[in-house]
Amino acid sequence: MSAAFSTTAPLRLALVEDDPELRQLYSDYLCRQPELSCVLLAGSAEAFFEQLPDLLQAPQVVLLDVGLPGRSGLDSLPRLKQLLPDTEVVMHTVFDDPDRIYQALCRGASGYVLKNQPLAELKAAVLEVARGGAPMSRAVARQVLAHFKPTPTAQAGLLSEREQQVLEGMVDGLGDKQVATRLGLSPDTVRTHVKNIYRKLQVSSRAELLSRHAKGQL
């Protein structure tokens, strides 16, 4: 909701990128934009943190490379967000593997753009995140959505209907007896179902099952 009119002061941007050529390229382009103002350029996370105290005002957006030498961008994210809770971080990288994306988002990134995109996209992402958005490259957005999808692999057809219901109860954090009550069954029956579920899903404890459920496959 905060203003972003042409009369607004340029957005304070920090750029962390280890490749000197790329850094030059990006900063050249981004700094030329009237809406932006590069207040910090760093080639590593360490350099970034060192330069931070020199700034009069904290950057509003940090464009952070994931694959940095030394402390990776991913690793320094928590500290960055701790020092600058109100600063938006956009990850910038060639990696589009689910795990890195997941880690970045969990650690407080508000955007994730890939490096194979036109510079205009990069600029758009920076502006977008400053406006309260969450810019993500196509592939990244899909990965993110994949985290929510049911992954109809195992369950569909594998587990019988009753077993599904029992599983549901377990997922809700209930014990065998409570599940039995909910379904109007004998606790022993539930126990049998649970055992069969374990066998079918290849796990051997409630914890494992719930862990799996929470992660990949619902």
Q: Which residues here bind its own copies, judged by CB under 8 A?
A: 102, 105-108, 110, 128, 131-136, 138-139, 141-142, 144-145, 147-150, 170-175, 203, 205-214, 218
Q: Can you tell me the distance from the alpha carbon of 151 to that of 68, in angstroms, rounded to the nearest whole number? A: 33
Out of its own copies, DNA, none, what residue 67 binds, judged by CB under 5 to 8 A for its kind, is none
CB nearer to its own copies: pick between 50 and 208 = 208
Which residues, 129 to 188, sit near DNA by CB under 7 A? 160-163, 175-177, 183, 185-186, 188
* Binding partner selected for residue 70 from DNA, its own copies, none, CB under the kind-specific 5 to 8 Å limit: none
Give Cα 168 to chain centroid, integer Å: 27
CA distance 87 to 125: 14
CA 14: distance to chain centroid? 20
Closest separation in Å from C-beta 27 to its own copies? 26
CB 165 within 8 A of CB 189: no
Can you tell me which of 71, 191, 212, 213 binds DNA, judged by CB under 7 A? 191
Binding region for DNA (CB under 7 A): 160-163, 175-177, 183, 185-186, 188-189, 191-196, 198, 204-207
